[in-house]
Structure 1
């Protein structure tokens, strides 16, 4: 690392709170080193209150850009100069690119989701998806899937603070894509079971399954799944989630956690900053070894 850093090194950040647990610095710094690129990636714990000053710093320090994570993905939008068209639909930013002082916001989460499936030889275009959640991960997943050609999406959410966002996602998908989206109440378990049964892929983009909810899953009955379906959990800590265990008990052939999505969304951001392809296989081995699913 020190051999690479000099007076010409460009800084890229990660602005979120909390964020010290992130694997992104390891991912990006190893990729820069592998390709001999003169960038450095650092994590900064930035709350909503600190965000305006932090975004100003991107311009002031001539940083190449930054990743943005919770709780800043929506708050950052009015602080930027431009949004990429898909990001405008999604209404959240996870990547900022600085081009000579002009800051453009992008969202790579949905791209990472679709690419992680493609990496496994799976194509969900023209198929039906059932998606649980309408938050920071679920929104770009739904909209990117619709933009990429998924035929139908059934979105389930509880009547909580994200329910209005779920309505917005459905409206945007129906108005601006060829995909048919419908909104469902997660409290209606019979409806949930029926929609999953008629879907090629079920994706859980909620926090259920993550600490402190690691012993929970929205689907507890293996009979809800069939062998030829895809079951995708955005959680990757723990690596083997409760949902994955239920799906594996059902004999589902394609069961994944969120590691691949996390890696591919990072790769998409990497390309926006560097114009280079991240050495994904090399980084996957560094981060996950034999644990990647």
Structure 2
């Protein structure tokens, strides 16, 4: 028996064990996928433990995506560009870091027949997920991205870190104010929520990062929050007549890419979706 798991902050639920375990079981691969809640002061010990011969690797979630960088032996150029990893592969004792969030983010846009090339986008948030989204859109040929964040300094740091790497894309930071949103939303083809606002079971469940009356029907609204399926933002967008993408497809597709890194085999994506949806339904019913 081998092991893999998801490294998260303590107290954070994760859907990854449900759909990753379903994928391993469906293909008859003897791997147990676990949830590994880990405090910041225990992260180094946790990552070093991934070198054990019976461990395939791990997924890494907020807030550990950036903190894991100095703890792995090597990481691919995409991780260097994003400044965050979300997957670790134990390659015979060498820990290699990858970022599958970029691939995971772009695939649902393709499924929705949205062409990022030349688009203007607005991103709410400036953490590891936002960094991956900026790089993803830059690689897909987006023209302009505004990063809106409650702490302007953090958005400015993201722009300073990534601005040169994403040229000729125009990357700007903006404060989380009504004036910023009004200007950004008026020009946006794509609006992406990379914050935790709207997440079920949190004090911010009933909040949206964007004012409802500024959402345009011409825009595509993409919320990386996957629980609930209809966040406050998604509801506002649908009421405005805009197309929407929830967070579950990105979660599944980034997980499927991790699965292939660990096993060398294509993940059974349909099985992963079914398992994730069943797990969410069970949580809603409990």
Compute the TM-score of the two structures, normalised by the length of structure 2.
0.90
- Show CA shifts across 1:75-132 (max 9, x none): 2211111121111122222110111111111122232111122122222222111111
Moved more, 81-90 or 213-222: 213-222
CA distance in 1, matches of 2:22, 2:185: 39
**Where does residue 63 of structure 2 map in the other structure?**
71
Q: Find 2:169's aligned residue among 172, 179, 186.
A: 179
- Residues 116 and 140 in structure 2, CA contact (< 8 A), matched pair in contact too: no
Structure with more relative contact order (C-alpha pairs < 8 Å, separation 6 or more)? 2
Question: Per-residue CA shift, 1:173-219, capped at 9, x if unaligned?
Answer: 331123111111112x1232121121110111112212211111133
**Counterpart secondary structure, 1:156:** strand
Which runs of structure 2 are paired with 1:82-231 in the superposition (5 Å)? 82-159=74-151, 163-177=152-166, 178-187=168-177, 189-210=178-199, 211-222=202-213, 224-231=214-221
Is this contact kept in 1: 2:38–2:46, CA < 8 A? Answer: yes
In the TM superposition, residue 165 of structure 1 has moved relative to its aligned partner by: 3.7
Separation in 2 of the partners of 1:120 and 1:286? 22
> Is the Cα contact below 8 Å between 1:47 and 1:71 reproduced in 2?
no
SS of equivalent to 1:192: helix
Paired position in structure 2 for 1:6: none
Q: Describe the superposition over 1:204-247 as per-residue Cα deviations: whole angstroms up to 9, x where unpaired.
A: 1112212211111133333x233221011111222211111211
Unaligned stretches of 5+ in structure 2?
282-286
Structure 1, unaligned runs of 5 or more: 1-8
Kept after mapping to 2: 8 A contact 1:173/1:179: no
- Indicate whether 1:257 and 2:246 are aligned: yes
More moved, 55-64 vs 190-199: 55-64
Residues 20 and 243 (structure 1 numbering): CA distance in 2 closer, same or farther, change over 3 Å?
closer
Deviations 1:138-178 (A, max 9, x none): 2211122212322211111122xxx4442232234331123
How much does 1:20 deviate?
6.2
Q: 2:5, 2:273 → 1: CA distance? A: 21
In structure 2, the partner of 1:51 is 43
Q: CA deviation at 1:28?
A: 0.8
